[in-house]
Structure 1
């Protein structure tokens, strides 16, 4: 197999967890061939995960549409991380054997049409910015996804967030702006705030810059907290225990300005954020969980970061592609 050609059919089976042994060998060989191949896989994974559940009638077994045909029909053009769900669906449509006309129609009376939603993605190691239909500004941090309906700003202003985002919301007394994280709903009228809701984190954080913010349980709409500027809410996923504390909102949202600020952050928190910042995976050995760090990243390379950490707490490190093995001395 030519490792410069994207094996969409094999990737489809990987995403559906249906690879046989021979296909898995081919897939892993292609994936390891270059960082570009890994990036292609990540893009398709984001799009695949964004697709709504499809009914059995949607499948046309043995009748795969080619990627070339799909791109001609919807005129994708250059790659962009601001994607209509129809584009996200089309990028893997041939993998499912779906026809383009089907993708643009409602699948049933009880299912939202794929084309009725927009998804904005910031892949690992990158950030994204989008302007919502009402003028609300949204910055997405690395490994994040924002989804909203094409009916946004008509009957409601509702967005779904996976990851971290900074919102500058246009005020509208008639339509509240709601961020749904799956566990916590963040409700505002018009304000500026930062939400960190990565699924890999046990705590959801909301930091308020101006205005006011209401946090409610997504399960029963019970009030968890009301925030004032300069405050941060931390909500535990298990039990929904919420605590409110004062914070430096500039530090909390510094990533939006292409800075990553650490003010007494513990090792785990530092490397969790740095992984997303650089789009790498850290394997940390001999870790001292009590170590804390004070520093700011701007334009430093990964190597420069590691050299900085070495000056603070001596380490040894090895960079292999997108994996970094770090050992504390």
Structure 2
């Protein structure tokens, strides 16, 4: 902020006014537009006052913005989930490619965080201060509960999965219209249609990235690969299109990636090769 102040302090209003006068009005270059000394003086001071007011607004906004940023914590999860514990005892797990921001002095005032991406919340109960999540175009509000919020900007919907307690979901622009979800249920907010939908039950695979529990019941290998990619941060490529529709029923409880690949290899008779984060699945296919 000191740099901004010094920069504006050295700003030559007289020089800028002269330049503006020459370019926009051409007082000296245009003899057909004479002005009295009084009108020029009034116009001169009017522009100077306007410039000073604009400068004041810029400095005020800069101070407000910089002081607000200085009072915020920012957690970025890139390649691996990140664990965070807030001052009120709330536990967060921030998923890959996600960012969360919150006040450094979290115990003062409202309990509010800003989420871009996905995170798991285990919120410490406080009936006097609801916990609010700004999830882009949607708002989530709770008193004390555990739940998942998927709010990646590129996704057309904001998805909530509730494990315990009650969770309220609303559109940011209309917080009076909301749905309340309980344990075992979920909800969505469709950004384009601006619609809230209450789901009677939730898919446990929605939080597999946090629990590492994966459930497959007659699932295609394509679906399996997509979920494993999301949970383990790898890139599984099915080289034989005939394999993509092969079905499998299996449950993995906090298993390593290697253990999962071994089960898939033995069950579907796959040939698996690996190079860095890319895993290639090949084989005869289900109908061959």
TM range (shorter): 0.5 to 0.7
Distance 2:171 2:247 in 1: 34
1:229 and 2:178 aligned: no
Computed over aligned residues only, the root mean square deviation of the Cα atoms, in angstroms, reads 3.5
Counterpart in the other structure of 1:159:
113
Aligned counterparts of 2:250 and 2:134: Cα–Cα separation in 1: 32
Query: 1:229 and 1:296, CA in 2 relative to 1: closer, same or farther beyond 3 A?
Result: same
Mapped to 1, the partners of 2:191 and 2:266 lie a distance apart of 36
The answer to whether the Cα contact below 8 Å between 1:117 and 1:149 also exists between their aligned partners in 2 is yes
Tell me what 2:151 maps to. 197
TM-score (norm 2): 0.65
The structure 2 residue matched to 1:300, chosen from 256, 271, 284, is 256
SS in 1 for 2:180: strand
Contact 1:153 1:175 in 2 (8 A): no
Q: What does residue 88 of structure 2 align with?
A: 134
In structure 2, which of residues 102, 120, 125 is the aligned counterpart of residue 148 of structure 1?
102
Which blocks of at least 5 consecutive residues in structure 1 are unaligned? 1-53, 59-105
Contact 1:176 1:189 in 2 (8 A): yes
Residue among 223, 238, 261 paired with 2:214: 261
Change (3 A) 1:290 1:162: farther
Distance in 2 (CA, whole Å) between partners of 1:227 and 1:177 is: 15
Q: How many residues end up aligned between the 2 structures? A: 227
Query: Is this contact kept in 1: 2:184–2:202, CA < 8 A?
Result: yes
1:111-147 C-alpha deviation (Å, 9 max, x unpaired): 24443221223332x3322111111111223333221
Residue 218 (1) aligns with residue 172 (2): yes
| Residue of structure 2 equivalent to 1:324 | 279
- CA deviations 1:25-70 (Å, max 9, x no partner) are xxxxxxxxxxxxxxxxxxxxxxxxxxxxx9x969xxxxxxxxxxxx
CA contact (8 A) 2:88 2:107 kept: yes
3-state secondary structure, aligned to 1:108: helix
Report the Cα distance in structure 1 between the residues aligned to 2:261 and 2:74, rounded to whole angstroms.
Answer: 34
| Residue 196 (structure 1) shift | 2.3
Specify every segment of 5 or more residues in structure 2 that has no aligned partner in the other structure, as ranges. Answer: 6-59
Q: 1:266 to 1:226 in 2, by over 3 A?
A: farther
Residues 298, 190 of structure 1: CA spacing in aligned structure 2 closer, same or farther, 3 A cutoff? Answer: closer
